[in-house]
Amino acid sequence: MQKKQNSTGLVWFRNNLRVQDNYVLNEAIKNHKRTIAVYCFDPRDFETDKFGFKKTDKFRAKFLIETVQDLKSNLKVLNIELFIFFELPERCLPKLISEYQVTHIYLQKEWTSEEVTVFSDLKKVVSTDVIFNTYYDQFLHHPYDVDMPFSDIPQVFTNFRKHAEKQSDIRLSVINNPSEPIDTIKNKTQIPKLEDLGFNDFETHINSAFPFKGGESEATKRLNNYFFETKKLGFYKKTRNGLIGTDFSSKFSPWLANGSISARTIYWQIKTFEKEHYKNQSTYWLIFELIWRDYFKYISLKHGNSIFKIGGILKKEYKWNNDKDLVQKWIKGETKSSFVNANMIELKKTGWMSNRGRQNVASFFSKDLKLDWRIGAAYFESLLIDYDVHSNYGNWMYVSGVGNDPRDRKFNVKLQAERYDGNRKFQKLWLQETLF
């Protein structure tokens, strides 16, 4: 057994805001007698982007604050103090490293451009004696187990799924033991309030399909309810295209997006459900969706910054426009499609939209209005509680004809509305919002 170093390890939390099944945290605790942690609310994440949207708007900001509050409490149980800053990481981390004589920093490996830049900027201002330990910890099928170089990731999802399922076993969840407490710690840092981030506080909309709070504890509670208390998991495949209510889908995506629950945890709990109750198409289909989530991460690993470019990973040239009036009509729910409008109003009022809704409004934006798909993706990034860079840009490329859809399909929003909202219940629910 490896002997623990008589030194302090620092866990830099980014998009892995959990204690359970956190390999990064586990490695720090395993290798050091004492561990501290830090989370930075990066001011750049709350600025306005080039399309005029807040990078992170109020819904995800509030969810993030709740998540960090929960993380702080859960780390306390492990004798780990979480330092919280509303400051650039490259400014606040060096002070912490110096004060606690940190020798090793542990963090989840990220590869998209903004995250890479922040990491690079930090390394420039930290002593070269400090060792950085980075780990992939956001996958169901770990990159080292898939047995395929990123350059060979298939262009079609089905081919990737079959390979991953055949070649890669899902790793077991890791369990963390308490760290040795540091008696001399004085942590006066505070979690920012919503107002500190530039927003007014607000109440969750009464009709929101995602009325849940942020944090690992809430994610665990939701999983137990959806799987074992109501057994809604057993009907997931039949209900997943629903539009109204909390239980037509698992709603795990916001917690997965900021890493307050791991894909592995969900997988192994599905296996527990199958063992204790039954196995059917629905129990598999939730795993299937987790593999889709993996796939878009692998696509961004393969193609890098192409996922943010107008031609996408296919480098296709379409005649896009950026008509601001058309964009605003789409945002406000004032298009010719009442189904699109209802979904857009739901998003604006709640920070949530169903998967079926997202596919339709994105297709309408790019294929009907022929607007630059990156504007729509940026708006989703701003508003969606469950924004994940890989899934967001991967899905927008997919429906816009510059990504991984080999058939380059266009959604007929009229037929989609008739199929999934035949009684217009969803449309009536949200279109009445425009009357007030």
**Contact between residue 194 and residue 61 where contact means Cβ atoms under 8 Å apart:** yes
Q: Residue 5 pLDDT > 80, yes or no?
A: no
Within the chain, which residue ranges are assigned CATH 1.25.40.80?
138-171+216-305
* pLDDT score recorded for residue 1: 40
**Contact between residue 416 and residue 339 where contact means Cβ atoms under 8 Å apart:** yes
pTM: 0.97
Give the pLDDT confidence of 26-41 residue by residue, as tens digits: 999 999 999 999 999 9
Q: What is the CA radius of gyration of the chain?
A: 22
Q: Could you tell me where the DSSP H helices lie in 333-370?
A: 338-350, 355-363
Q: What is the mean pLDDT of the chain?
A: 96
Give the pLDDT confidence of 287-321 residue by residue, as tens digits: 999 999 999 999 999 999 999 999 999 999 899 99
Topology annotation, domain 309-435: DNA Cyclobutane Dipyrimidine Photolyase, subunit A; domain 3 (1.10.579)
To the nearest 5 percent, what fractions of the chain are helix, strand and coil?
55, 10, 40
Within the chain, which residue ranges are assigned CATH 3.40.50.620?
7-137
* pLDDT score recorded for residue 436: 44
* pLDDT score recorded for residue 3: 58
Please give the structure tokens belonging to residue 53.
């949207």
Give the pLDDT confidence of 130-171 residue by residue, as tens digits: 999 999 999 999 999 999 999 999 999 999 999 999 999 999
* pLDDT score recorded for residue 434: 60
Residue 184: how many CA atoms within 13 Å on its side-chain side? 4
* pLDDT score recorded for residue 183: 79
Measuring CA to CA, which residue among 241, 312, 236 is closest to residue 274? 236
Give the pLDDT confidence of 46-93 residue by residue, as tens digits: 999 999 999 999 999 999 999 999 999 999 999 999 999 999 999 999
Q: Residue 435 pLDDT > 80, yes or no?
A: no
7-137 placed in CATH 3.30.830.10: no
Share of the chain above pLDDT 90, in %: 93
What CATH number should be reported for the domain whose range is 138-171+216-305?
1.25.40.80
Within the chain, which residue ranges are assigned CATH 1.10.579.10?
309-435
